[in-house]
Copies of this chain bind each other. A is one copy, B any other.
Amino acid sequence: MSQAVRHDAMRARNLALVLGEVGARGAVTRAALAEITGLTKTTVSKLVGDLIEGGLVVETGAVRDGERGRPGVEIRISGRHVAALGLEVNVDYLAVCVVDLARTVRLRRTQAVDNRAALPVDSIARLGDLAANVVDEAVEKGLRVVGGVLAVPGPVDRATGDVRNAPNLGWRDVPLASLLQHFPFPVRVENEANLAALGELWFGSGLPDFLHVSGEIGIGAGLVVRGRLFRGAHGFAGELGHVVVAPDGPQCRCGGRGCLEQYAGQDALLAAAGGVRGQLGVAQVAQRLREGDERARAACERAAWALGVALSSAINLVDPGAIVLGGIYAPLFRWIGDVVGDTLRARLGQMRGTVPPVIVSRLGAEAAALGAAGQVIEQVMADPAALLHT
């Protein structure tokens, strides 16, 4: 429910408006901000003054624009004070990163760990150490880490931040919220596929509308519409892996049959490409593809066709502006992109004038950790007043 608007809320919104415009345009003078926002020069000056005082933006030197008249002073987002922590637990690695308010990645660490074999508590403790290190380094650089988000591969209870069941990780009822309380700033928990999509939004293509597909053991999707993540009624939207490809297809672990995961999930793809299960990684498949291995090629084609079928359902339902393939699909894009695109055109081309373009994510495995940190930054950008008054 919306809240009452008082003078402080008015100010908070206008601060966010100005900060947002500065972020969107990179560098703007106060005069230009007044023009853009419709606020008066007076108001913009006062707002910018507050933002400068809070360390969120900085004045850069005067502009020599060659026009006549007094040159304006450009304002830009300051990356020197406020920063955010991104954390990720995945099946076979831990990752942390620190991102500043200008969305520059200042620090990152990755550690290869088999988190399926470890206890959740130990994985989290290890991640905590890793995070403590980068936070210390960030503090040395003069940064103030104002919050963190942890990406986990599985559904997260939005209310408590706990994980009820993350099958890929072997986690059940892990009280994450309480394990993350020792940080000197709030840390929230969020689904990895959602955060990967947001990572793509803030650090990748820059498109405002897309469906990001995270190919891992499961296949998650994050839908971004007008720069906002779509979550559904309970926060479980985006389970692309269990969209039906063929209703009488192979039995899936979810209880259904013929789910996408059985055709294009990591396990199915590797099994089809290489024979002995567990012996082959995605990198090796890519290598074999480069060498022209026929079996690997056929496996990719089948997976890509299935992905195309599932995506055609997804496009009909949610009308995304583009399809971004990430996770294991990123290194395999050369061999699956076209088949996916052709399948979409065959199934959708007649109905819709244009089929959403299928593009590859440029972020790789970092996407989720970046999205996690980015979400904190986004929160600051959306409500800078909350930070200024503390």
Q: When chains A and B are docked, how far (Å) is the Cα of A225 from the Cα of B225? A: 14
Give the B-binding residues of A (Cβ under 8 A). Answer: 1-7, 9-10, 13-14, 16-17, 20, 37-39, 209, 221, 225-226, 230-248, 253-257, 309-310, 312-314, 316-321, 346-352
Shortest Cβ gap from A308 to chain B (Å): 9
Shortest Cβ gap from A347 to chain B (Å): 4
A230 and B230 form a contact (CB under 8 A): yes
Q: When chains A and B are docked, how far (Å) is the Cα of A242 from the Cα of B20? A: 39
Given contacts A2-B13, A247-B246, A349-B255, are A234 and B313 in contact (CB under 8 A)? no
B235 and A319 form a contact (CB under 8 A): yes
Number of this chain's copies in the complex: 2
Q: When chains A and B are docked, how far (Å) is the Cα of A4 from the Cα of B33? A: 11
Given contacts A309-B247, A321-B233, A321-B234, are A239 and B4 in contact (CB under 8 A)? no
A4 and B313 form a contact (CB under 8 A): no
Which residue of B is nearest A224, CB measured?
B233
Shortest Cβ gap from A14 to chain B (Å): 6
Q: When chains A and B are docked, how far (Å) is the Cα of A209 from the Cα of B237? A: 13
Q: When chains A and B are docked, how far (Å) is the Cα of A33 from the Cα of B256? A: 49
Q: When chains A and B are docked, how far (Å) is the Cα of A20 from the Cα of B4? A: 12
Shortest Cβ gap from A91 to chain B (Å): 19
Q: Which of B209, B221, B317 contacts A243 (CB 8 A)?
A: B317
